[in-house]
Amino acid sequence: MLRLGLMICGLGTLISTAAWGRAEFHLGGTEGNVWQELIEGGEGEYAAVDAEGNIVGVFPVSSVSLEPVADPLMKDSGKVVMIDFVANTLRPVLIDPAENLSLSIFERGGDINTSISIGYTKEERKTVEPIVDGNIETATLRPVDISPRLAGVNIGNVKNIVVNLGAELPINRIRFYPRPGFEDNYLAWYEISVADATAPFVDLPGQRRPGKRWYEDISRALGAKNDPAFDILERNLENLDVVVDYRFPTRDLKWIGIRPLDPERTWEIAEFEIYGEGFVSHTEYRTPILDFGHPVSWSKIRWRGAMPEGTQIQLRTRTGNTPQPNRFFSIERTGNFVEIDRKDYDLTFSAGSFNDVTRSIDAENWSSWSPPYDFASGLRDEAVPAAAWTDGTPLMSPGPSRYLQLEIVLTADRDQAPRIDELSLLFGEESAARDVIAEVWPIETESFAPHTFTYVVRPLLGEDNTGFDRLEIATQTRAEAVRAVLVDGVDTTADFPPEIQDDRIVVGFELLQGVEDSEKRVEVVFDAKVLRFGTEFSGWVYNSAEPTLKQQVKAGNATFRFGGDVLSVNTPMGGDLISDLRVMPPTFTPNDDGVNDRVRIAHDVRNLGTLRQLEVQIFDLAGRLVADVVGTGTQSGVFEHQWDGRDAGGEVVAPGIYVYKISLDTDRGSQAASGLVAVAY
């Protein structure tokens, strides 16, 4: 909880003391709520602050307690997967190469069992648990009294013993051996099999999951094959080592199996040790549903942390106005859906009747998960005052709403990991409007050239709302022009000149406030490119007297003139991802005289929803690399790069014709575009 040392005061004190009802919620760091306590159902706190950032009140944030459900895809409860909370930060767990991971499988929710028929696995587990108890004096012993080769049938125990690690971990070593004094029982014929988290296995005996199953039983026939879902890591029919210490390149694994291959005598395993090294590749932190006590207007989100090259942080939010974000349904024989409660859904699901029930987001009361936030956009800028909130990025989940949930997925490589040290939310206790509905038209374009769009906002205002006099529209790329801004049909462009920024438009007008201004439409007509299929023109309204507190608009029926009721625009599919190449000027003179000393290379990148690697390189006509202009990550947008006419060593190149090449790595491979530029003196 917040280390503020303040008594909780009443809501009336907050509203009268804190100008504009500004509030902050902090997670992590030295002053924020404790990440781990929220997961464990503990209460948190948020602080009311004044314009200078001084705390004027502290209020509770509680975790909503919902009945657990068997459905593994439900995301309405808190969850932690292999997160290290050291110093109240979020970071993937670092695996110590000296730690025997078999000893902690149950702590991670894992299991050990055999591939015998699922009805017997609970009893069967007792016979194999000794191999992961850390005691070399206990063992799993399998007698073989008659040679299977004489009988023609394998009567020795040839089932898989499978360790479920409880999570996907970086594994590179497996070690097993018999008890001291029973070396003659060592395993002379064995097969080691492995599987990652994508394998179609349930985690525990008796679980029922769509598309999942228990380990396949293995035939008693000589030479019987293993479960096809396992990858065979090692087969050895002539092992002479009493202690098997098998090492291999590090792999992300969740299941590891060991089985004898046609055993010819009694065998045993005292300990089955598993080792790994490096950061866990995939980790997850998800808060439970957080209750802020009453609807608030979400404004911004920011964080401190690091995302080294080769790692990734995916951070999402969603908001709502009921404690439970899902609705549950049963499918009758007639095909009709009947709404049921959470408990009945779970009973049916747990019984394995997956096709008889379904669930969906309560769209009337809850938003979907937001798109992942761009890590760089939300980073705390230590050069500006924290209280000013000029850093951070808009919170993409709508308000006013009472409940919020946060999900963070960290992707590491073996040697380095991303981390979130602290995360903060800025929100307003008061809202600009009860609701703000918006839509854009047209909702489909036939080309990637600039189009004229009309963006209509319909506010629902009450006497308790602060009102707004600014509208901000995210255009993703720089808009070409704003043609008109109309409020209730009156053009206000001359009195409030629009501001066109690199990725958004900000327009102003007289303050809309009170019931008399409710339903007055704000209409913005602008020209912009849409370079990615499904681009959403998100929008926010705010009062210019408190520009840090913004209320996100919601897609809906803002005007009867248009039938889209959405904020997203679809583009043509297919075609080149790099387009509209421009060179300015086509001939430049890098002689430091202040005139045309650099060339600008501009282009569009379209239809990319995730960060990709972009490179711009300069070659001479013989194909030799002259200079790397840029190498960076990018998404869809309009880009411009500059070359100063110098090579990699900093020397001015000779006059002549040069080739520029723009390369982009995508899921479909590398795509490139090129053109010519001339250097003269």
Reported confidence tier of residue 623, pLDDT bands at 50, 70, 90: confident
Summarised one tens digit per residue, pLDDT across range 28-43 is 998 899 999 988 877 8
Query: Which residue type sits at 436?
Result: V
Distance CA 337, CA 331 (A): 5
pLDDT at 545: 87
pLDDT, mean of residues 169-173: 97
Distance, CA of 569 to CA of 444 (rounded, Å):
5
Percent of the chain with pLDDT over 70: 91
> What pLDDT shows up at residue 205?
87
Rounded average pLDDT over 509-521: 95
Q: What is the pLDDT of residue 14?
A: 39
| Per-residue pLDDT tens digits for 427-484 | 998 889 999 999 999 988 877 778 999 999 999 999 989 999 999 999 888 899 999 9
pLDDT at 527 over 90: yes
CA distance 66 to 320: 15
Using one digit for the tens of pLDDT, what is the confidence trace for 33-73? Answer: 999 998 887 789 999 988 778 888 999 999 999 888 888 88
**333's tokens:** 């024989």
pLDDT of 355 strictly over 70: yes
Fold of the domain built from segment(s) 97-276: Jelly Rolls (2.60.120)
Domain range annotation of the chain: 11-65+72-88+284-318+370-428, 97-276, 326-361, 435-569, 578-679
Architecture of domain 435-569: Sandwich (2.60)
Q: Are domains 435-569 and 578-679 of this chain identical in fold?
A: yes
Average pLDDT over residues 284-299: 94
Position with higher pLDDT, 18 vs 135: 135
CA distances from 145 to 139, 222, 264, 315, 558 (A): 18, 16, 9, 58, 81
Query: Residue 328, exposed/middle/buried by CB under 10 A (0-12, 13-18, 19+)?
Result: buried
Long-range contacts of 60-64 (CB under 8 A, 24+ apart): 60/8, 60/293, 61/25, 61/33, 61/290, 61/291, 61/292, 61/293, 62/290, 62/291, 62/293, 63/38, 63/287, 63/288, 63/289, 63/290, 63/291, 64/288, 64/289, 64/290, 64/291, 64/323, 64/324, 64/403
Residue 149's pLDDT is 56
Q: What is the DSSP string of 267-324?
A: EEESEEEEEE-EE-SEEEEE---EEEEEEEEEEEEEEEEE--TT-EEEEEEEEESSS-
| Whether the predicted pLDDT of 120 surpasses 90 | no
Burial, 262: exposed, middle or buried (Cβ in 10 Å; 0-12, 13-18, 19+)? Answer: middle
Average pLDDT, the chain: 88
Q: How large a percentage of the chain has pLDDT more than 90?
A: 59
Contact 264, 222 (CB under 8 A): no
pTM listed for this prediction? 0.79
Element of type H or E holding 494: none
More confident residue, 164 or 622: 164
Domain 578-679 sits in CATH 2.60.40.4070: yes
649 CB contacts (<8 Å, ≥6 apart)?
Answer: none
Terminal Cα-to-Cα distance of the chain (whole angstroms): 66
